[in-house]
Amino acid sequence: MPRPVTTLIRYPRSGRGPWPLIVFGHGFASTPHIYRRLLDAWAHAGYVVAAPIFPLGNADALGGPNRADLPNQPADMSFVITWLLSASASPTSPLHGLLDPTRIAVAGQSDGAMTAFATAYEQGFRDKRVDAAVILSGARLGAAATSFPHSPPLLAIQGTDDHVNAPGNATVLYRAVARPKFLLWLRRAGHLPPYTTPSRGLATVEHATIAFLDHYLGDRPLTELRDAADRYGDGSLAADP
């Protein structure tokens, strides 16, 4: 059966490619639109941002969102990576030269974070092209493995007052992956607002994620990640670089 994966693409307004790629997964019963401020910040920082609309998990899915489709979403992420890299490599494509195939990150929030984590780390879902992962209020998708010794760098971000994704899930992810890894706690933050609503929390998320990606997909110093966590006074960073 055909599985359309409509994908919204943002890219930097200045400079010339190739640029690094971030593939972002939205949460259950939502769309990428609600994260537009964060996605725009990444594009402004020099990243191509591809945000697939998951076929059955989005807010407008025919018949209503269906969370049972979640295990199929990592393949959607990998499909988007493959399609975009092919388009970037094709001289006849309007996307020719857009992407650097050696600098790819996955990111997501809530169920999209579970999708991204599985795509970056979990057996049966893992895409070895992924070079870094940003997990926003996420958890594991599968339950078989308890550790992932060969893994890309991780930045997990979690609100301490999140009543949808238990904060302990972030600790599980942080402990499961190999270094380098980082866990940014957002004090008194809930499940969705730090990633969608203009606030000190969103500003912290923007600066921390860009600092992390600029280091592991670029050449910026890692010290900027800790500076970003401290800038607004609402973040606490655990680090094992």
In angstroms and rounded to an integer, the radius of gyration of the C-alpha atoms of the chain is 16
Q: Give the pLDDT score at 15.
A: 81
CA distances from 90 to 5, 48, 94, 198 (A): 21, 17, 9, 38
Instruction: Give the residue among 53, 28, 55, 24 at the shortest CA–CA distance from 37.
Output: 24
Domains contained in the chain, CATH given: 7-240 (3.40.50.1820)
The amino acid at residue 31 is T
Helices (H) and strands (E) in the chain, counts: 7, 8
Q: Give the pLDDT score at 97.
A: 95
Consecutive 10-residue averages of pLDDT for the chain (241 residues): 91 90 98 98 98 97 96 98 98 96 98 98 95 97 79 97 97 95 96 96 96 97 89 87 93
Q: Dihedral of the CA atoms 85, 40, 52, 204 (nearest 10)?
A: 110
Helix, strand, coil in percent for the chain, rounding step 5: 35, 20, 40
Residues 163 and 191 sit within 8 Å (Cβ to Cβ): yes
Other C-beta atoms closer than 10 Å to the C-beta of 30 total: 22
Q: Give the pLDDT score at 13.
A: 87
Contacts of 82 (CB under 8 A, 6+ apart): none
The amino acid at residue 1 is M
| pTM greater than 0.95 | yes
